[in-house]
C-alpha cells in the first residue's frame, strides 16, 4: 500500500491539487463567459419554426410528459408503502398477518376512504391520468407474485396423497361454485354490466366464491406452527390442489368470457391445453436437466436470467392465447425445478421487490376501484350480506364436511374449513381480472372485495375459537 | 397422517366425489340454460344511453386501454431479455463483461439497427405509444440500480486514504470536465438543441466526459482478481470518490439547467445542501442505530421495508427539489448502515429484479434514442472522433499522470488510467438525464453513447496490453 505519504510529498501533492483545480475553474469560467455570447443555430431555427403562440418547442413538451410520470409514481409508491407499513404493523399487533394490513391500507387509500373524505389529497396523489402507470407497474408486481405462488407450490405434496386432499379440495370448489352460479342467476338482471352474457357473469361469480388464498393460508399455518401437523399438511395440500384447479377453471372462464360463448372458446381451450402440455412435458424436464447440470447447489446469474425469460415468455404466451398473463406466471413458477431448496433461494431473490415494493401498488389499484359508497341502498347491502354468507357456508361447510367424510377428526375438519375459507390476496387478483374484463360491475366488485376481506379477517379468530372449544371439551 | 385409506373407504370416497361433481355440473348446466334467457337491465340501459354509432360503452374502451399495455410490455421485456442474454453470452466468450453485451443488445434493438433495417418489426415490438411505459419501468429499474451503486460504495475506503485517491479522482474529473467545456464551445452553435443556454450545454458536456462507471469498474477488478492488490484498492477508492463527486456536480448542473442560470439555481442548491445534511447527519445515524437494535445479523422484512421507504422518499425528494430522482436513490444507498455484510445481503435481495429484469429495459430505452444513422455527414463523424479522443486522453491521461505524480509505479498508473476510462452504464444514465432535460440534441446524444460504449469496450484490451508490456519488459 503506497497510499500514505511523508509530510513533504503531501505538501507537494496538495499544492499541485489546488493549482490544478484553480486553473481548471479559471479556464471553465473564461469559456463560459465567452460562450454566453454564442447563439445556437438550432435555437434560431426552432424559434422561427415553432408557432408564435406556443413558444416551447414540441419536443420539450414531449420530454416533459415522459419525465413527469416518474415523480407522480414515486410519490404514490411512497404514500402506499408508508400506509401499508403502518397498517401492517397495526394488524400485526392485533395478531393478523401483515399482508391483511397492507390490503386494508390499499382499500383506505382508494375511493372508499381517502377519495371520499379527502378528494383533494386523493386527486393530488392519484390523478386519473396516472392510474394507467400505477396499474401497469402493479401488474408487473402481480406477475412476479404469481410466479412466487407457483414456486411455493410443492407439487410433490400432491403425489401419493392425492386421494383425500384432492377430494376435499374439489368439493370445496364445486359447492361454492354451484352456489355462486345460483347467486348470479338472482343478481344478473340488476347488477351485471351492460353487454355481458349470463354465462360469463355466472361462471365468474362462481369462480370468485371458490377461491382459497394459498399464500395467506401458507403464512397462517407457518405462524401458528402447524406445518408439521396432520392438519397443516392436509390444509397446504388442499390449498395447493385448490390453486391449481381454480386457476385452470378461471382460465377456462376467461376464455369463455372473451369468446362470448362456451363453444367459440374451444379454440382458446385447445391452445391452452397445448400450452400446458408444452410447459409440463417439454419445458419442465428440460429445466430439471439444466438445473442439475449447471447448479452446484448455488444459484448462478445466467440461471436466474433464464428463469426470468421463461416467466415473461409464459406470461406473454397465455395473454396472447386469450387466458391471462397471471396464469402463465403461475404455471412458470410451477414448472421450475422441483428442489425446494432451489425454489426458496429463487423466491428470496425476488420477493423483496415483488412483495414489498410492487405488490402494495396492487392493493391500492384495487382500492381505487372499490367504492363502498356505491352500496347506497338496502338491496345492495342485502346482496353483500347474502354473498358473504353463501361464500362462508359453501367454502367452510363443504371443506369441513368433506374432511370429516374422509376421516379427519371434527376438530381438524372444522379448522380445515376455517383455513380454506381464507380468500385473501388471490381473490383480489381474480376480482381485478373480472373487473378489467368488464364481466362484473363496480358494485359487484365492491361487494366481492368486502367478502374477500371479511373471509380473510375471520380466519384467525375462527381458528382460535375452534381450538379453544375443542381444548375445553377435551379438558 | 391419516391420508391413506383402505380399499373400501377409498371406493366410498370416490363414489361420493363422482356423484358430487356430477350433481354440481348438472345444476350449473341447468342454471346456465335458464339464465341464458335473462336480460341485464344495465345492458338495456347502456344500449339506450350509448351513442348509436359507437356501440361499445365507454368504460369498456377504457378498460381495454388499461389492459393492452401489459401485453406489449411483456413482449418487449421478453425480446429485450432474450437479446440481452444472447449478447451477454457472446461478450462473455470474447472476455468482455456481460453487462457490455447487454448494453450492446439495447443499442441493436434501438433505432440504429432494428429500427433502421427492420422498421416493421420495430414498430410491432416498440410502438411509439408504448415507449412512455417502457421508459417509466426502466426508470424504476434505474432507481433500484442507483440504490445498489450507493450500497456498493464502501465509504470507509475513503477514510484515511483520502489523500492520493481523492487527488487522482478529482484530477481525473477536472481535466476532462475542462476539455469538455472547451469542446462545447466549438459545437454549441451547430449542435445544441433550440432554447438551451450555453452554460447548460457546456456544463453538461463537461460532466458527461468526466464519468467513471463505478459498477463496471468494480466488476472488472473482481473478474481479474485485483481486489486485494494496491492497484485494485486504489482504483476502487478513486472510482468511489469519482462517483460521489461526479453525481454532486451533476446535481449542480441539473439545478443550473432547470433554473436557466447559475444564480437562479441558488435556491435549488441550498435545498440540496439541506437535503444532504439531513441524509448524512440525521438519517444515517438513525439507520445505524435502528440496524444495531433490530438486526441480529439477519435481515428482517420490516427492516427491508423501511429501506425501501427511505429509497423511494429520497428519490422523490431530490426530484421535487429539482435535482434528479436517481441522485436521491444513490444517496439513499450511501447512507444505509455501513456494515458491508448487511449491504451485500440487501443487494442480493434486490439485484435480480433490478439488474436482470428491469435494467435491460433501460439499455433499450437508451438504444431507441440512439440513432447512428443521424451521423450522416463528415462534420458529425469528425465531432464523434474528436470527442472520443478528448474523452480518452483527458480521463486516461489525467488519471495516469496524477497516479504517477502521487508515487504509483508506471505500470500501476497506466492500468489505473485504463480503468478510470470505463464510462459504462453510469455514462448512459447521465446521458439519458441530459437528453430528457433537453440539454443535448439527439446527434450529440448518439455521439456520446458511441463514446461511452467505446471507452467501456477498450478497458479490457487496454489492461491486457499494459500488463503484457510491463511483464515483458520486466522479464
CATH number at A256 reads 1.20.1530.20
Please report whether residue B463 resides in a domain.
Answer: yes
Partner residue opposite A167 with nearest CB, options B13, B81, B302: B13
Amino acid A49: pLDDT: 41
Q: How far apart are alpha carbons A182 and B279 in whole angstroms? A: 59
Cβ distance B361 to B110 under 8 Å? no
In chain A, residues 22-61 whose CB comes closer than 8 Å to chain B: 24, 27-28, 31-32, 34-36, 38-47, 56-57, 59-60
pLDDT digits (tens, 9 = 90+) for A250-291: 888 888 888 777 777 788 888 888 999 999 999 999 999 999
What distances in angstroms separate CA B171 from CA A21, A24, A129, one per listed residue?
Answer: 8, 10, 47
Amino acid B53: pLDDT: 33
Specify which of A44-53, A124-133, A154-163 reaches the highest per-range mean pLDDT: A124-133
Read out DSSP for B384-437?
HHHHHHHHHIIIIIHHHHHHHHTT--HHHHHHHHHHHT--HHHHHHHHHHHHHH
* Torsion of Cα atoms, A45 then A50 then A52 then A56, to 10°: -100
Interior/surface letters A369-397, b for 16+ CB within 10 angstroms, e for the rest: bbbbebbeeeebeebbeebbebbbebbbb
Q: What share of chain A is helix, strand, coil (3-state, %, to 5)?
A: 80, 0, 20
CB B5: neighbour CB atoms within 10 A? 15
Give me the number of domains chain A comprises: 1
Please indicate whether, in this complex, the C-beta atoms of A70 and B194 are within 8 angstroms of each other: no
- Chain B contact present for A219, CB below 8 A: no
In chain A, residues 118-147 whose CB comes closer than 8 Å to chain B: 131-133, 135-137, 139-140, 143-144
pLDDT-wise least confident of A25-39, A115-129, A386-400, B75-89? A25-39
**Among candidate residues A241, A235, A243, the one with its CA nearest the CA of residue A217:** A235
Please report whether residue A4 resides in a domain.
Answer: no
- Full-model pTM: 0.86
Please indicate whether, in this complex, the C-beta atoms of A194 and B164 are within 8 angstroms of each other: no
Amino acid B258: pLDDT: 82
Please indicate whether, in this complex, the C-beta atoms of B78 and A27 are within 8 angstroms of each other: no
Contacts of A65 in chain B (CB under 8 A): 132
Amino acid A474: pLDDT: 64
In chain A, residues 239-298 whose CB comes closer than 8 Å to chain B: none
For residue A309, pLDDT over 90 is answered with: yes
B346 → chain A, closest CA residue: A352
pLDDT digits (tens, 9 = 90+) for A32-66: 888 888 877 665 444 444 333 333 333 443 344 44
Amino acid A1: pLDDT: 41
Please indicate whether, in this complex, the C-beta atoms of B35 and A184 are within 8 angstroms of each other: yes
Q: How far apart are alpha carbons B329 and B316 in whole angstroms? A: 9
A409 → chain B, closest CA residue: B2
Partner residue opposite A73 with nearest CB, options B63, B136, B184: B136
Cβ distance B168 to B403 under 8 Å? yes
B202 → chain A, closest CA residue: A32
Please report whether residue B57 resides in a domain.
Answer: no
Read out DSSP for B315-359?
HHHHHHHTS-HHHHHHHHHHTS-S-HHHHHHHHHHHHIIIIIIIH
For residue B64, pLDDT over 60 is answered with: no
Cβ distance A237 to A165 under 8 Å? yes
Contacts of B436 in chain A (CB under 8 A): 63, 66-67
DSSP state of A399: H
Name the residue with higher pLDDT: A216 or B83: B83
Amino acid A61: pLDDT: 37
DSSP state of A357: I
Please indicate whether, in this complex, the C-beta atoms of A352 and B85 are within 8 angstroms of each other: no
Distance between B395 CA and the closest CA of chain A, angstroms: 14
Q: What share of chain B is helix, strand, coil (3-state, %, to 5)?
A: 80, 0, 20
Amino acid A259: pLDDT: 77
Q: Is ipTM beyond 0.95?
A: no
Share of chain A above pLDDT 90, in %: 43
Amino acid B58: pLDDT: 38
Please indicate whether, in this complex, the C-beta atoms of A438 and B42 are within 8 angstroms of each other: no
Distance between A162 CA and the closest CA of chain B, angstroms: 9
Amino acid B213: pLDDT: 87
Contacts of B129 in chain A (CB under 8 A): none
Partner residue opposite A41 with nearest CB, options B35, B161, B189: B189
pLDDT digits (tens, 9 = 90+) for B358-383: 999 999 989 988 988 888 889 899 99
CA atoms within a 13 Å half-sphere pointing along the CA-CB vector of B457: 13
Name the residue with higher pLDDT: A448 or A166: A448
Please indicate whether, in this complex, the C-beta atoms of A35 and B408 are within 8 angstroms of each other: no
Distance between A189 CA and the closest CA of chain B, angstroms: 4
- Chain A contact present for B475, CB below 8 A: no
- Chain A contact present for B356, CB below 8 A: yes
**Among candidate residues B382, B304, B313, the one with its CA nearest the CA of residue B337:** B304
Give the model's confidence band at B161: pLDDT under 50 very low, under 70 low, under 90 confident, else very high: low
Cβ distance A299 to A349 under 8 Å? yes
Amino acid A45: pLDDT: 46
- Chain B contact present for A181, CB below 8 A: yes
| Helix/strand/coil for B264 | coil
Taking every pair of Cα atoms in chain B, the longest distance, rounded to a whole number of angstroms, is 94
pLDDT digits (tens, 9 = 90+) for A375-395: 888 989 999 999 999 999 999
Please report whether residue A255 resides in a domain.
Answer: yes
Contacts of A44 in chain B (CB under 8 A): 194
pLDDT digits (tens, 9 = 90+) for A9-25: 778 778 888 888 888 88
CA angle A130, A133, A136 (to 5 degrees): 150
- Chain A contact present for B19, CB below 8 A: no
Rounded to 5 degrees, φ, ψ at B415 are: -65, -40
Share of chain A above pLDDT 70, in %: 90
DSSP state of A64: H
Amino acid B46: pLDDT: 46
Q: Looking at residues A341-368, what average pLDDT do you find?
A: 91
CA angle A257, A263, A264 (to 5 degrees): 65
Please report whether residue A396 resides in a domain.
Answer: yes
For residue A159, pLDDT over 70 is answered with: no
Show the cell assigned to A348: 428470496
pLDDT digits (tens, 9 = 90+) for A65-94: 444 789 999 999 999 999 999 998 999 888
Q: Looking at residues A216-235, what average pLDDT do you find?
A: 84
Please report whether residue B89 resides in a domain.
Answer: no
- Chain B contact present for A158, CB below 8 A: no
- Chain B contact present for A182, CB below 8 A: yes
Cβ distance A152 to A346 under 8 Å? no
pLDDT digits (tens, 9 = 90+) for B432-458: 999 988 999 999 999 999 999 999 999
Domain that holds residue B406: 102-468
Please indicate whether, in this complex, the C-beta atoms of A353 and B348 are within 8 angstroms of each other: no
Give the model's confidence band at B55: pLDDT under 50 very low, under 70 low, under 90 confident, else very high: very low
pLDDT digits (tens, 9 = 90+) for A319-340: 888 888 998 999 999 999 988 8
**Per-chain mean pLDDT for chain B:** 85
What distances in angstroms separate CA B177 from CA A16, A31, A375, B210, B437, one per listed residue?
Answer: 18, 12, 64, 6, 19
Please report whether residue B72 resides in a domain.
Answer: no
Please report whether residue A63 resides in a domain.
Answer: no
CB A458: neighbour CB atoms within 10 A? 17
Specify which of A51-55, A252-256, A313-317, B213-217 reaches the highest per-range mean pLDDT: A313-317
Name residues whose C-beta falls within 8 Å of residue A90's C-beta, 6 or more positions apart in sequence: A101
For residue B149, pLDDT over 80 is answered with: yes
Please indicate whether, in this complex, the C-beta atoms of B163 and A305 are within 8 angstroms of each other: no
Name residues whose C-beta falls within 8 Å of residue A247's C-beta, 6 or more positions apart in sequence: A327, A330
- Chain A contact present for B387, CB below 8 A: no
Q: From its phi and psi, is residue A195 left (phi > 0), alpha (psi between -120 and 50) or beta?
A: left
Residues across chain A? 475
Please indicate whether, in this complex, the C-beta atoms of A206 and B5 are within 8 angstroms of each other: no
Q: Report helix angle B301-321 to B131-152, nearest 10.
A: 110
Amino acid at each position: 500500500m503506497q497510499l500514505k505519504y511523508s509530510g513533504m510529498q503531501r505538501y507537494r501533492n496538495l499544492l499541485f491539487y489546488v493549482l490544478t483545480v484553480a486553473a481548471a475553474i479559471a479556464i471553465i469560467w473564461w469559456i463560459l463567459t465567452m460562450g454566453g455570447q454564442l447563439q445556437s443555430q438550432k435555437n434560431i431555427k426552432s424559434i422561427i419554426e415553432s408557432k408564435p403562440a406556443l413558444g416551447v418547442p414540441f419536443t420539450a413538451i414531449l420530454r416533459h410528459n415522459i419525465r413527469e410520470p416518474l415523480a407522480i409514481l414515486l410519490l404514490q409508491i411512497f404514500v402506499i408503502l408508508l400506509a401499508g407499513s403502518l397498517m401492517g404493523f397495526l394488524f400485526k399487533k392485533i395478531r393478523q398477518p401483515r399482508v391483511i394490513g397492507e390490503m386494508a391500507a390499499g382499500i383506505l387509500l382508494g375511493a372508499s376512504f381517502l377519495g371520499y373524505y379527502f378528494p383533494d389529497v386523493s386527486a393530488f396523489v392519484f390523478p386519473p391520468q396516472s392510474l394507467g402507470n400505477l396499474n401497469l407497474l402493479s401488474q408487473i408486481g402481480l406477475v412476479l407474485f404469481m410466479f412466487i405462488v407457483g414456486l411455493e407450490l410443492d407439487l410433490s405434496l400432491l403425489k401419493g396423497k392425492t386421494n383425500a386432499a384432492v377430494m376435499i379440495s374439489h368439493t370445496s370448489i364445486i359447492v361454492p361454485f354451484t352456489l355462486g352460479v345460483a347467486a348470479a342467476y338472482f343478481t344478473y338482471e340488476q347488477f351485471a354490466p351492460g353487454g355481458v352474457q349470463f354465462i360469463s357473469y355466472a361462471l365468474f361469480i362462481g369462480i370468485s366464491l371458490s377461491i382459497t388464498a394459498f399464500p395467506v393460508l401458507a403464512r397462517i399455518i407457518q405462524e401458528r406452527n402447524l406445518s408439521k401437523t396432520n392438519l397443516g399438511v392436509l390444509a397446504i395440500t388442499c390449498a395447493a390442489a385448490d390453486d391449481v384447479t381454480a386457476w385452470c377453471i378461471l382460465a377456462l372462464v376467461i376464455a369463455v368470457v372473451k369468446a362470448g360463448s362456451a363453444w367459440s372458446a374451444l379454440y382458446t381451450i385447445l391452445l391452452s391445453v397445448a400450452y400446458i402440455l408444452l410447459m409440463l412435458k417439454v419445458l419442465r424436464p428440460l429445466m430439471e436437466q439444466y438445473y442439475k447440470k449447471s447448479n452446484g447447489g448455488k444459484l448462478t446469474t445466467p440461471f436466474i436470467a433464464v428463469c426470468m425469460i421463461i416467466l415473461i415468455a409464459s406470461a406473454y404466451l397465455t395473454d396472447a392465447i386469450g387466458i391471462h398473463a397471471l396464469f402463465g406466471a403461475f404455471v412458470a413458477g410451477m414448472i421450475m425445478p422441483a428442489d425446494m431448496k432451489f425454489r426458496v433461494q429463487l423466491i428470496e431473490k425476488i420477493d423483496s421487490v415483488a412483495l414489498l415494493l410492487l405488490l402494495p401498488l396492487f392493493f391500492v389499484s384495487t382500492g381505487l376501484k372499490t367504492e363502498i359508497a356505491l352500496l347506497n341502498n338496502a338491496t345492495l347491502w342485502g346482496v353483500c350480506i347474502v354473498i358473504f354468507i353463501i361464500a362462508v357456508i359453501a367454502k367452510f361447510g363443504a371443506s369441513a364436511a368433506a374432511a370429516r367424510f374422509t376421516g379427519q377428526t371434527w376438530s381438524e375438519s372444522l379448522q380445515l374449513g376455517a383455513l380454506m375459507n381464507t380468500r385473501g390476496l388471490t381473490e383480489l387478483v381474480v376480482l381485478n381480472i373480472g373487473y378489467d374484463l368488464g364481466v362484473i360491475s363496480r358494485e359487484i366488485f365492491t361487494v366481492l372485495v368486502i367478502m374477500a376481506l371479511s373471509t380473510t379477517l375471520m380466519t384467525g379468530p375462527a381458528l382460535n375459537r375452534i381450538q379453544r372449544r375443542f381444548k375445553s371439551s377435551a379438558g
